[in-house]
Structure 1
């Protein structure tokens, strides 16, 4: 949350799969909201899903359920989230709801890993990471929760699958050891064809960088940059988390966000002009960081902090306001 972030705590209209309609491409910020996750109650381990406008106005808790609710993806005005409601603590199942928190629906009865996910074919299919005997594979689901296919990745550990924009490939985070505590565990990005062929490693953590603790990301959850032949991810290097981009062939790696600040989970607007992410000043291992939501204009590199309170707010995604609640003017 991912909840991986509790050791200690350390987004997506088009980032993992489907491009948006031509109307949305022409006016990419029209009717957009930001959905994000808020850690609200430490003793009860309570996470809620909030939404707000791009300027932070009209903030609202749309999940309002005890336990863990964590949004991982969006398509149109629908949010895909994991929840342990109606089950055991941190036993996650896949749900959807609209951007106002209405029309909540459980998609699948398969228990899920704590993992990002992607969609393709106009939101008709999802790729997810199931938990249990199928830990060595990803599931491709339809909107009814039916398993359409099983994608075996061939690694001891894999998580956070994301469809390419054309839906023919999946980029994911993987490792040759199953657990982070295991010797030889280094998470890197891999890419594979949807038929299970052609797996190859994209990222290679710098051998001379020893600043990433055992629990920290060498390569974090990937997102596909819309309208660009690039994949973005976070990585802890030189003592802090930053967001990087890389080509699908593993070349031309670049750092997007500056050092001296931790920036991690993120999402892209459908035209690639806006990057929303969670970030926090770098703190000591003894302190619990408080994350806020930031919005970067990729054309000017101007960054605006959207949230400023004492709650920890993370992993934002862009989502469309439901029809009937959208403003009449474009930003």
Structure 2
């Protein structure tokens, strides 16, 4: 698809761009006037805490939105991206590039107690937590290294030991999530003779099964009870829409079907009845894109805007 994302100072990542998403042009100037966060409120009611990434003040930083307003958790001269809550809500994992390449970090829910998890020449992106909170699954992009590729890895937080998570899948794969029930890994991948699709890796026998194919299906996320998977697909109309299927790949249903908009990066509500996602619905054709956060109920299927700041608000994670 023609929409793509650029990571600052890094070539386009083919796996991350396989199903499109916000297209970055030149980053906003860091000298621009800071947004008064005290005036920012969600546009519709919700409960819980939603992490997301935004460049509303210039650099990509991590924010948390509640019914009471918006709080900035990071404030650095580098990029902070892909935030994810730990299962107990007491830690946040994310990617940042203070040393050039993107590494994994963990911090407290208030942005304090920062810890580095990895320090490698590869880019480590799109992190998710294991159900027990003791390890992370992530995408490692080693394509800048001769012979390297994009693959799904896990890292143990105690030992910091990282291993490839999907052995035997010898093509680009990543953008993964872990089942809270089976500990199986659902991920975006590409077969040797096929296009991008969503696959499930069963750690019990190391088998891999394709769940959704075609339409650039990608970015799967398990529901809190592990029974369903939300994902992005352009199968219906050539652009990104939010879809839901059962954990075994059956009963695939299109959730958003809005004309001329691109809907991406879905995340479940804690009770599994709603989905938060990002969309360019307000400014469909802008070069830089005007990406805001939206909510959709699985019962009503009508998307409503949750937050729309001057920046690109993307990669939400709801707890």
- Give the structure 1 partner of residue 251 of structure 2: 252
62-71 or 246-255, which deviates more: 246-255
After superposition, what is the alpha-carbon deviation per residue over 1:85-111, rounded to whole angstroms, capped at 9, x for unaligned? 1x12xx100001122211111122245
Distance change in 2, residues 1:40/1:283 (3 Å): closer
Distance 1:2 1:299 in 2: 35
The residue that corresponds to 2:278 in the other structure is: 278
Residue of structure 2 in register with 1:214 after alignment: none
2:193 is the counterpart of 1:187? no
How far apart are the structure 2 equivalents of 1:278 and 1:136?
Answer: 24
Query: SS at 1:129's partner residue?
Result: strand
Count of matched residue pairs: 275
| Matched-pair contact (CA < 8 Å) for 1:234–1:242 | yes
Is 2:155 the counterpart of 1:138? no
Tell me the distance in 1 between the aligned counterparts of 2:310 and 2:175: 28
- Shift, 1:289, TM fit: 1.8
Cα distance change on mapping 1:295 and 1:283 into 2, 3 Å: closer
Q: CA deviation at 1:114?
A: 5.3
Instruction: Give deviations 1:151-181, integer Å, cap 9, x for gaps.
Output: 314231001121112243111001136xxxx
Is 1:107–1:145's contact at 8 Å kept on the other side of the alignment?
Answer: no
Query: Is 1:170–1:192's contact at 8 Å kept on the other side of the alignment?
Result: yes
* 2:231 match: 233
Contact 2:131/2:183 (CA < 8 Å) preserved in 1? no
Q: Where do 1:6-17 residues align within 5 Å?
A: 9-10=22-23
TM-score (norm 2): 0.75
TM-score (norm 1): 0.73
**Separation in 1 of the partners of 2:6 and 2:94?**
11
Secondary structure (helix, strand or coil) at the match of 1:92 reads: strand
CA distance in 1, matches of 2:125, 2:244: 20
Query: Residues 261-300 of structure 1 correspond to what in structure 2 (within 5 A)?
Result: 261-281=261-281, 287-300=287-300
Counterparts of 1:134 and 1:285, CA distance in 2: 35
Taking CA–CA contacts closer than 8 Å with sequence separation of 6 or more, which of the two structures ends up with the larger relative contact order?
Answer: 1
Distance 2:276 2:85 in 1: 14
- Of residues 50, 57, 66, the one that matches 2:77 is 66
Q: Give the equivalent residue in structure 2 for 1:38.
A: 54
- Deviation, 1:262, is 1.8
1:143-158 → structure 2 map (5 Å cutoff): 143-144=157-158, 146-147=160-161, 149-151=163-165, 152-158=167-173
Which runs of 5 or more structure 1 residues have no equivalent in the other structure?
A: 11-28, 178-183, 207-217, 320-331
